[in-house]
Each structure stands twice: as C-alpha cells, then as structure tokens.
Structure 1
Amino acid sequence: MLKLHEHDAVKFGSFTLKSGIESPIYFDLRVIVSFPDLMREVSAQLWQATQRAGISFDVMCGVPYTALPIATCISVKENVPMLIRRKEAKDYGTKKMIEGNFAKGDTCLIVEDVVTSGTSVLETVQSLTNVGMVVKDAVVLLDREQGGRQNLEVKGINLHSVCGISELLDILCGAGRIDSETAAKVRQFLASANEVKVPQSKPCEDGGQPCKKQKKMLTYQQRAALCTHPVAKRLFTIMHEKRSNLAFSVDVTSATQLLQFADDIGPYICLLKTHVDILEDFSQDFVTRLQATAKKHNFLIFEDRKFADIGQTVLKQYISGLYRICDWAHIVNAHIVPGPGVIHGLSKVGVPKERGCLLIGQMSSQGSLATGEYTTAAVKMAEENSNFVMGFICQGSLTDDPRFIHMAPGVQLGGSGDQLGQQYNSPAQMVTEKRVDVIIVGRGILNAEDPVATAKLYQHAGFEAYENLSNNLCFCTI
C-alpha cells in the first residue's frame, strides 16, 4: 500500500468522482502498468486473497480496463484461464462481448482494482451471465467502503478485498505518509457520504422472473444537480422545466426564415441547432436577434460547426472570421480525428466563456467510419476533458457517466431514411432503446405541412419516451 501512494496511485486533495461526488481521496491504479514490480506485487496480493477465501472457479475476468493487466498477470503466473469482457461489442467480425474459451456453466472469478458502488463489477457479471457463465465471487485490491460490498451481496456476489480504505489510512498514517488531519477528513467523508445503492431487481409486469438487465435511471433534474459543467447543468435544467428533450435542426439559407422558425418552434425545444455557414445573409444583427429569441423561449444555441483541424486553426475558426461563433453559440461540436489538440484549442476560449463542446462519437449516415475504436477514443477524450466536453453526438448511449449528454441526429416519427444515406429512428427508439438524452429533428419539422404542430408531436413523443423509461424500475431486453 505504501508503494501505491509512492507512485501516486493513491492521492489526497479534492477530486470529482465519476458520480459527480467530491472526494478527498482518489485512486488511480492505471499508473501501476508503468511499474512492473508493483504490478507483480499487486497481482500476488490479489491471488493470495483468493486463496485465503478458498474460492473455487474455472476462469477469471478482469473488469475493463484497469483490472485487465492485473488479471493477465495472475493468469500467466498461476496458469489460470482468462476471459476478456469488452465494454462494447465490435460492429464487425464475431461481435462478441466476451472473448476467450469457455463453456456454459463455467464459474468465473471477477478481478477489479477499486470498488465503490460495485456497478462496474455488476456490469461485468451481467455480460458473463448473458453467455451462460456463473459468477459467485469478485476479488478487489481496494474497497472504498461506500456500499459496494453490500450491493454485490444483494446480487449474490461475495467481495474479497486485499485492503479497505480504513486500513489504508491506518497504514499511511503509521508510516508518516499523511497526517492525522488528512486521515480524519477522509474518514468524515466516508461517514457522511451516502452509500451508492444498486436498485433491487423487480419482477416484470407480466409477473415473471426479475429482469436480467437493469440500470438505474436518473432524471434530468438529478443529472443537473450532478453536473459541474455549466452548459450541461443549464441544458438538463431546461429539459426538466420545459418538459422537452427536442433539439430543432433549422437548416435554412435565409436568416429571416431561421429567426421565424426559432420564434415559432422555440417554446417546444431545449436546443436550436444551426449551420450558419449556409446562410446567405448572415449578420451581427441576426446574431443579436437569435440570442434574444433564445432568451425569450429559454433554449440553448448549438452551432453544428464540426471542428476538425489542429488546435491553433480551430481556435481561430472559433473566435475569428465572419461568424465569431464563440460569442453566441452555447455549444459547438468537434471530430476527434485530429486528436485531443482540437479540444485543447477550442477550450482555450470555450472554458472561460462557459461554453460546451460535443464530441462526434457516431454519425447517422450510412457507412460512417465513426465506430469501434474511434468511438471508444471519443469517450476517453471526453472523460479527460470534461471541463469543456459536455457530451456526444451519437446513435446510442456511449457511457453511463450521468454528467455527459447524448444527442442523436437522424430522428423521425416514422423512421426510414433518404436517398443520400441518412438513416432515421423514431423518438421512442432513440430514447427508450438507445438511451439518448436529446433527439435532433430537422427535416421532419422543416418539411411538415404544419411545423409548429409537428414540433409539438416530437416534443411529446420524446419526453413521453423519457418519462416511460424513468418511471419504469424494470427494463427488459430481448
């Protein structure tokens, strides 16, 4: 444990956890892959914990991603077969979630680095049981003592830990690594923090067995409370207050026409999406009037610029030229092809101005290359730049982190597609099945005989799907 602290795998200060909670202690065990001796020692400690507990199993599986190298070390040294669980299925090849050789009925031991609520362990349990495996035990290096053990026990999983956070504090205090005041602060945090509970499975409406796949659903209002990003917090609040998860993509070439649509449709949307570079009469007067309309009807403005260049170039595109997007657009978006520099460039101005950025994780066009490793990289970049990145343009939920917003284009009430490769899903499919937060509708409203009445239909359909999802304690999947 002293070596973990020595290599900054255990840190003290003020940290925002994935749940949005502020914590005085943080574990970053990803760093241990750079220290082979420490990796071997951690792996040995975990193996000894399984031996002390007398656990019997056929194979082992590390929770992605930090625990994967730890499980690999144990597998190689102790000659124990190992499986790999993907965070998302490949969209090519075998499309498996579990990789490796196993048989139905095999017992699998789960290996994890840190347990807080136990959610990550349970997600891995679900993937394993979906392919017919049995999971009874999980071994973890550090237990944060915030309800994870109890949550796992409810699901029939025994947690075996090498060290709990209380014991860790005693060790570090005894070695003079931290003072008693720091230890007391962490203990007070543990005593006052609400345990993160995993909801109990409830029978389906037909009275059958409990659902095999279940996730806790937070409301827009609850997610707003968790958000530290000012634009995300504001958008979730608008969605709650206006009872709307509808974004209107108003792709017209006339500024006057755009402003009229914004005024007519504004009462029913949470977000207005623009492409100002197609306007034939863009002016600063247009910007002033658009901002006034947004304030009048309480919606945010999203300029769909799709920045995709090196940092210095996108910074100039954001702050300069005819459009000066940073001055009026609450939200912009970016491709990740150039690497994180595109985010860093935009954030130099975006963060001080309290703007938000969406990363393009997936696209609705047929044959899009924004899949697989590209999408995974987008999520990683978002997590590493969450002070500016507030979510994703996507075709389904990319992360369970409730602070990130998922917005999906390609939505129409009837579904289908067009001759240029655009593919459509219904509001219910996007919200209920694919778990997106905001539905983006363009031609479905623009080309309607009565755009206002149609916008109301989309607003109702999208929010009804959200309410149906959040009101259900039981989510069944086929």
Structure 2
Amino acid sequence: MNNKQVAEQLLKIHAVLLSPKKPFQWASGIKSPIYTDNRKTIGYPKVRDTIANTLVKLIKTKYPDVNAIGGVATAGVPHAAIVADKMKLPMIYVRSHPKDHGTGKQIEGHLPENAKVVLIDDLISTGKSVLNATKAVKKAGIDVLGVAAIFSYQLQDSEKNFKAADVKFDTVTNYSTLIQLASDQGFVDKEELALLKKWRQNPWNWN
C-alpha cells in the first residue's frame, strides 16, 4: 500500500525525520538521510487509530485466511494488540530472543489450533529482525501467512531477504510515497529530494 494519510501523519508528528544534507548514522554504519521512530505513534491516539484501521484493511485484503495476529517485539506489539482487538482475533508476540529464565519462551500468548498468523512490525529496513521472528514462529509449527508493517524503506536488501526466506510482506506506506509527499509539502527542496532518491538506490554510497 502507499497510504498518503499515514505518511503525512508520520511527518507531522516527527516519527520520520529527513535530513539529506546532515545524515543520521545507523547502528549498521549506514549514513542515512532518514530516521524513523514509529514508537512515537502510540502517543497520538488519532494517528495510532488510523494506522490500526489501515493495517486491518491491508490484512483483510492481502491475508483473508488470517485467524491470529502476532506482534514483533518491541515496537510491533502495541500495534498488533490494537489490530487484534479490532479484528477480534487472538494474539501472540515474539521476543527477539528466547527468555533466559523460566520456561525460556520466545513466543508469548495463545493461539487456536491450525493458526494462520500475520506478524506486525513497525518498520521494514533490511527485514532481518522480523524475519528472525517469522523463523521462530514457523519453528514452533505455526503457519505464518505474511508480515504487515507501518513503513518500509524499500531497500533492495529487504526485497532479497524476504524473497530468500519465502515470506510475503506488505506495508501501510513506504519511502517513495513519504519523500514525494515531503517534497510536495515543503519539508525538503528539489536538491534534497534528489539525495533522498539516490540514497535508496545505494545506501552505502550516496553522499
């Protein structure tokens, strides 16, 4: 999907920051003209409701056989909880690693027999974290229909990683939609828009 309303809200509440001329440094070492913190969305009731409604629509359209919702810890969990509530479906959440105490669970919650799960995350960059969660859920014998997220950077690595893992994914909005909207609304000028487009093509060598 390329929902402009959600993209506009992310810009408005500064969940997404654009700085092509003074890029941010990611933990991976990538210098990026964009920084995304979708955790901010849970502090804005109207924004999180719009996101949840759009996720519900996406899931019903793309994954009509779904009968359970999963949240990827930590940022995907609140959105998964709201979506599961709206859809009246059971929910699980998936830790990044199994607990090192107690029963050592990585997956929390309860699912019906023959569960068909859609996992929800807040952001797709390379896809590695949500694919690790997907792998854990599949290992537990649970059918994962696909992944739904709020936003994707649309990096080539993510496409390759999801394809290699044979996992479908969809997002509410994406990088192309957001940067064009940012340009249309004066958040960035033409030169900055060109840099933003260049980054997506080659995140390691663009500036």
TM-score by length of 2: 0.86
Q: How large is the Cα RMSD of the aligned pairs? A: 1.7
**1:93-144 Cα distance to aligned partner (Å, 9 max, x none):** 3321111112564221111111111101111011101211111311111110
Any unmatched runs of 5+ in structure 1? 195-478
Matches within 5 A, 1:165-314: 165-193=175-203
Q: 1:112 is matched with which residue?
A: 121
Identify the match of residue 152 of structure 1 among 162, 170, 173. Answer: 162
CA contact (8 A) 1:105 1:132 kept: no
Q: 2:109 is matched with which residue?
A: 100
Instruction: Classify 1:51/1:102 alpha carbon distance in 2 versus 1 (closer, same or farther; 3 Å).
Output: closer
- Matched to 1:188, the amino acid is K
Q: 1:48 is matched with which residue?
A: 57
Between the aligned partners of 1:109 and 1:72, the Cα distance in structure 2 is: 12
Correspondence 1:143 to 2:143? no
Identify the match of residue 7 of structure 1 among 1, 7, 13. Answer: 13
Identify the match of residue 122 of structure 1 among 119, 124, 131. Answer: 131
Between the aligned partners of 1:84 and 1:61, the Cα distance in structure 2 is: 5
Question: Greater Rg, structure 1 or structure 2?
Answer: 1
- Matched to 1:3, the amino acid is Q
Between the aligned partners of 2:132 and 2:113, the Cα distance in structure 1 is: 18
- Matched to 1:93, the amino acid is G
**1:151-201 Cα distance to aligned partner (Å, 9 max, x none):** 21221111112222111111222222322222211111112226xxxxxxx
CA contact (8 A) 2:68 2:118 kept: yes
Identify the match of residue 38 of structure 2 among 21, 29, 43. Answer: 29
Identify the match of residue 173 of structure 2 among 155, 158, 163. Answer: 163
Correspondence 1:65 to 2:74? yes
TM-score by length of 1: 0.39
Correspondence 1:132 to 2:141? yes
Instruction: Classify 1:41/1:120 alpha carbon distance in 2 versus 1 (closer, same or farther; 3 Å).
Output: same
Q: Choose between structure 1 and 2 for higher RCO, CA contacts under 8 A separated by at least 6 residues.
A: 2
Instruction: Classify 1:168/1:88 alpha carbon distance in 2 versus 1 (closer, same or farther; 3 Å).
Output: same
CA contact (8 A) 1:55 1:137 kept: no
Any unmatched runs of 5+ in structure 2? 1-6
How many residues align structurally?
194
CA contact (8 A) 2:32 2:203 kept: no
SS in 2 for 1:137: strand
Between the aligned partners of 1:136 and 1:77, the Cα distance in structure 2 is: 19
